[in-house]
Structure 1
Amino acid sequence: MSAPYRTHRLTRSRDSVFFGVAGGIAERFGWRPGAVRLGFVVSCVLPGPQVLLYLALALVLPKPDH
């Protein structure tokens, strides 16, 4: 027996601080939005394209339907 199919797709959140990307990720995976935002801020200390990835997601992810 397979796991149930998830129909909720990844979108930006209406409850947004900055583009709604972190809120949308939190809603999709059932996490707290503050924890996702904090994780992003902490990850910015590490080398890598975190800010560019966040901006790319802000452009690519659709706005919520509801």
Structure 2
Amino acid sequence: MTAPYRTHRLTRSRNSVFFGVAGGIAERFGWRPGTVRLAFVVSCVLPGPQILLYLALALLLPKPGY
């Protein structure tokens, strides 16, 4: 049996530490917010535009309720 289709849009979370991006991703996919935050922090030791991507999502994702 497959999981039901989710219709929840990706938005920033009200449960936010920094802009609510990680919390919004966690809510959208049914993950724990702490796990998403930890994955982001660990990914920052790798080369790449992680911080720029996070800031872009903070600007582009709508606030909850919109």
**Is TM > 0.5 for Structure 1 vs Structure 2?**
yes
Q: Deviations over 1:23-61 (max 9, x none)?
A: 000000000000000000000000000000000000000
2:33 matches 1:33: yes
Question: For residue 52 of structure 2, what is the aligned residue in structure 1?
Answer: 52
Tell me how far apart the structure 2 counterparts of residues 63 and 55 of structure 1 sit (CA, whole Å): 14
| 1:7-26 map, 5 Å | 7-26=7-26
Q: What percentage of aligned pairs have identical amino acids? A: 89
**Matched residue type, 1:18:** F
Tell me how far apart the structure 2 counterparts of residues 41 and 20 of structure 1 sit (CA, whole Å): 15
Question: For residue 43 of structure 2, what is the aligned residue in structure 1?
Answer: 43
Q: Which runs of 5+ in 2 are unaligned?
A: none
Structure-1-length-normalised TM-score: 0.91
Tell me how far apart the structure 1 counterparts of residues 47 and 5 of structure 2 sit (CA, whole Å): 35
Structure-2-length-normalised TM-score: 0.91
Shift >2 Å, 4+ stretches: 3-6
Cα shift at 1:11? 0.2
